[in-house]
Amino acid sequence: MKKPIRGIIPPLVTPLSDNDTLDIDGLERLIEHTILGGVHGIFILGTTGEFASLSYKVRHQLIEQTCKIVKGRIPVFAGISDSAFAESLSLARKASDCGADAVVLTPPYYFASGQPELLEYLKRIMVQMPLPLFIYNMPANTKVVFEPQTVLAASSIPGIIGMKDSSSDLAYFKQIQYLLRDRKDFSFLVGPEEFLSEFVLTGGHGGVNGGANMFPKLYVSLYNASVNRDFETIFKLQEKVMQISTTIYKVGHHSSSYLKGLKCALSVIGICGDFMAEPFHRFKEPERTKIRQHLEDLNYRELL
Amino acid sequence: MKKPIRGIIPPLVTPLSDNDTLDIDGLERLIEHTILGGVHGIFILGTTGEFASLSYKVRHQLIEQTCKIVKGRIPVFAGISDSAFAESLSLARKASDCGADAVVLTPPYYFASGQPELLEYLKRIMVQMPLPLFIYNMPANTKVVFEPQTVLAASSIPGIIGMKDSSSDLAYFKQIQYLLRDRKDFSFLVGPEEFLSEFVLTGGHGGVNGGANMFPKLYVSLYNASVNRDFETIFKLQEKVMQISTTIYKVGHHSSSYLKGLKCALSVIGICGDFMAEPFHRFKEPERTKIRQHLEDLNYRELL
Amino acid sequence: MKKPIRGIIPPLVTPLSDNDTLDIDGLERLIEHTILGGVHGIFILGTTGEFASLSYKVRHQLIEQTCKIVKGRIPVFAGISDSAFAESLSLARKASDCGADAVVLTPPYYFASGQPELLEYLKRIMVQMPLPLFIYNMPANTKVVFEPQTVLAASSIPGIIGMKDSSSDLAYFKQIQYLLRDRKDFSFLVGPEEFLSEFVLTGGHGGVNGGANMFPKLYVSLYNASVNRDFETIFKLQEKVMQISTTIYKVGHHSSSYLKGLKCALSVIGICGDFMAEPFHRFKEPERTKIRQHLEDLNYRELL
Amino acid sequence: MKKPIRGIIPPLVTPLSDNDTLDIDGLERLIEHTILGGVHGIFILGTTGEFASLSYKVRHQLIEQTCKIVKGRIPVFAGISDSAFAESLSLARKASDCGADAVVLTPPYYFASGQPELLEYLKRIMVQMPLPLFIYNMPANTKVVFEPQTVLAASSIPGIIGMKDSSSDLAYFKQIQYLLRDRKDFSFLVGPEEFLSEFVLTGGHGGVNGGANMFPKLYVSLYNASVNRDFETIFKLQEKVMQISTTIYKVGHHSSSYLKGLKCALSVIGICGDFMAEPFHRFKEPERTKIRQHLEDLNYRELL
What confidence tens digit (pLDDT) does each residue in B19-62 have? 899 999 999 999 999 999 999 999 999 999 999 999 999 999 99
A128 in B contact zone (CB under 8 Å):
no
What count of other Cβ atoms lies within 10 Å of the Cβ of residue A36? 11
Share of chain D above pLDDT 70, in %: 100
pLDDT of residue C247: 98
Interface touch C178/B246, C-beta < 8 Å: yes
* Residue ranges of E strands in chain C: 7-8, 16-18, 21-22, 42-44, 76-79, 102-105, 133-137, 160-165, 187-190, 206-207
A123 in B contact zone (CB under 8 Å):
no
pLDDT of residue B19: 85
C277 in D contact zone (CB under 8 Å):
yes
Task: Give catalytic residue positions of D.
Answer: 136, 164
DSSP-assigned states of every residue in chain A: --SS--EE--B----EEETTEE-HHHHHHHHHHHHHTT-S-EEESSTTTTGGGS-HHHHHHHHHHHHHHHTTSS-EEEE---SSHHHHHHHHHHHHHHT--EEEEPPPSSS---HHHHHHHHHHHHHT--S-EEEEE-HHHHS----HHHHHHHTTSTTEEEEEE-S-BHHHHHHHHHHTTT-TT-EEEES-GGGHHHHHHTT--EE--GGGGT-HHHHHHHHHHHHTT-HHHHHHHHHHHHHHHHHGGGSSSSTTHHHHHHHHHHHHHTSS-----TT-----HHHHHHHHHHHHHTTHHHH-
Task: Give catalytic residue positions of C.
Answer: 136, 164
For each of chain C's 304 residues, which pLDDT tens digit applies? 789 999 999 999 999 999 899 999 999 999 999 999 999 999 999 999 999 999 999 999 999 999 999 999 999 999 999 999 999 999 999 999 999 999 999 999 999 999 999 999 999 999 999 999 999 999 999 999 999 999 999 999 999 999 999 999 999 999 999 999 999 999 999 999 999 999 999 999 999 999 999 999 999 999 999 999 999 999 999 999 999 999 999 998 888 999 999 999 999 999 999 999 999 999 999 999 999 999 999 999 999 9
pLDDT of residue A189: 98
D32-78 pLDDT tens trace: 999 999 999 999 999 999 999 999 999 999 999 999 999 999 999 99
**Is residue D1 predicted with pLDDT exceeding 80?**
no
Residue A244 to residue A210: CA distance in whole angstroms: 11
User: Given D47, D111, D120, which is nearest C52 (Cβ)?
Assistant: D111
Interface touch A195/D174, C-beta < 8 Å: yes
Interface touch A114/B256, C-beta < 8 Å: yes
Q: What mean pLDDT is predicted for residues A158-176?
A: 98
Q: Which among C107, C3, C90, C102 is positioned nearest to C43, based on CA atoms?
A: C102
**Is residue B253 predicted with pLDDT exceeding 90?**
no
Interface touch C19/D85, C-beta < 8 Å: yes
D113 in C contact zone (CB under 8 Å):
yes
> A136 an active-site residue?
yes
User: Given A198, A239, A243, which is nearest D170 (Cβ)?
Assistant: A198
Q: How far is D175 from chain A (nearest CA, A)?
A: 7
Interface touch C55/D83, C-beta < 8 Å: no
Q: What mean pLDDT is predicted for residues D147-153?
A: 98
Q: Which among A168, A183, A167, A88 is positioned nearest to A129, based on CA atoms?
A: A88
Would the pTM of this model clear 0.80, i.e. be above it?
yes
pLDDT of residue C238: 98
The residue annotated as part of the active site, out of B2, B109, B136, B217, is B136
The answer to whether the complex's ipTM is over 0.95 is: yes
D257 in A contact zone (CB under 8 Å):
no
C touches A (3+ CB pairs < 8 Å)? no
D203 in C contact zone (CB under 8 Å):
no
Handedness of CA B203, B205, B211, B216 (dihedral sign): positive
C210-258 pLDDT tens trace: 999 999 999 999 999 999 999 999 999 999 999 999 999 999 888 899 9
C46 to chain D: which residues are within 8 Å by CB?
Answer: none
A155 in D contact zone (CB under 8 Å):
no
Question: In the structure, what pLDDT confidence band is assigned to residue D255 with cuts at 50, 70 and 90?
Answer: confident
Q: What mean pLDDT is predicted for residues D227-252?
A: 98
Terminal Cα distance for chain A, rounded: 27
Q: How far is CA B74 from CA A99, B26, B40, B209, in A?
A: 49, 19, 6, 16
Chains that touch C (3 or more CB pairs under 8 A): B, D
Interface touch D246/A199, C-beta < 8 Å: no
Residue D63 · residue D31 · CB < 8 Å: no
Question: In the structure, what pLDDT confidence band is assigned to residue A280 with cuts at 50, 70 and 90?
Answer: very high
A36-91 pLDDT tens trace: 999 999 999 999 999 999 999 999 999 999 999 999 999 999 999 999 999 999 99
User: What residue in B sits closest to A138 (Cα-Cα)?
Assistant: B110
C227 in B contact zone (CB under 8 Å):
no
Indicate the pairing of strand D76-79 with strand D102-105.
Answer: parallel
Q: Which among B299, B4, B32 is positioned nearest to B162, based on CA atoms?
A: B4
User: Given C53, C57, C84, which is nearest D55 (Cβ)?
Assistant: C84
User: Given C171, C231, C242, which is nearest B229 (Cβ)?
Assistant: C231
Q: What mean pLDDT is predicted for residues B3-26?
A: 96
A113 in B contact zone (CB under 8 Å):
yes
What count of other Cβ atoms lies within 10 Å of the Cβ of residue B273? 18
C167 in D contact zone (CB under 8 Å):
no
pLDDT of residue C255: 86
pLDDT of residue A1: 76
Give the three-state DSSP class for D93: helix
User: Given D195, D229, D231, which is nearest A198 (Cβ)?
Assistant: D195
pLDDT of residue D19: 85
pLDDT of residue A277: 97
User: Given C50, C84, C280, which is nearest D117 (Cβ)?
Assistant: C280
B179 to chain C: which residues are within 8 Å by CB?
Answer: 246
- Choose from B111, B144, B147, B283 for mutation: most chain A CBs within 10 A: B111
pLDDT of residue A31: 98
B230 in C contact zone (CB under 8 Å):
no
Share of chain B above pLDDT 90, in %: 97
Q: Which among D256, D247, D263, D259 is positioned nearest to D296, based on CA atoms?
A: D247
B68-98 pLDDT tens trace: 999 999 999 999 999 999 999 999 999 999 9
D197 to chain A: which residues are within 8 Å by CB?
Answer: 202
B95-148 pLDDT tens trace: 999 999 999 999 999 999 999 999 999 999 999 999 999 999 999 999 999 999
